[in-house]
Amino acid sequence: MAGYYFEVLEAMEEPEAIYEGKNGEGIAVREIEEDMAAVEMKNILTLVPELLKVPYSRIWTSYDKEVEVLYINFKKPSHADDSELTDANVIIRYEKGEIVGITILNASRRKIGHGHCV
């Protein structure tokens, strides 16, 4: 949804419809009229089955294009007190022994292969 920040905000403020999510949460929906939005939305929707496998009910992400780092947080605010760097160049961040986020280095160069990111 890169580039559609304000459209997403408008959907939340003035949705065309509101659906109930799996856990009872409200999901605001508004049609974006641009063809590119439909393509991007299709790409995002392909992630849904994988996201539902993640054992966290809330996920926040941000991507720093300059340094090719993807930050994924499972708790906000999070105050990591420990971390480890894996062989796959992923930093796992911990708070009191619980995973609160991961940092994926060289994120743009990763490919999906056999059900996992390489």
Residues 18/11, Cβ–Cβ less than 8 Å: no
User: Maximum distance among all alpha carbons in the chain?
Assistant: 46
Q: Which two tokens stand for residue 118?
A: 């390489």
What pairing do the DSSP bridges indicate for beta strands 17-20 and 26-29? Answer: antiparallel
In this predicted structure, what is the pLDDT of residue 28?
A: 67
What's 27's DSSP letter? E
Residue 118 and residue 106: Cα distance in Å, rounded?
A: 11
List the domain boundaries for the chain: 1-46, 56-118
Residues 78/101, Cβ–Cβ less than 8 Å: yes
**What pLDDT digit, counting tens, does each position of 57-112 carry?**
888 899 999 999 999 999 888 899 999 999 999 999 999 999 999 999 999 888 76
**What pLDDT digit, counting tens, does each position of 13-66 carry?**
666 677 777 777 777 666 655 566 677 788 788 888 888 888 888 888 999 999
Task: State yes or no: pLDDT of 3 exceeds 60.
Answer: no
Q: Which two tokens stand for residue 87?
A: 């062989």
pTM above 0.95, yes or no: no
Beta carbons within 8 Å of 114's beta carbon, 6+ residues apart:
none
In this predicted structure, what is the pLDDT of residue 63?
A: 93
Task: State yes or no: pLDDT of 5 exceeds 60.
Answer: no
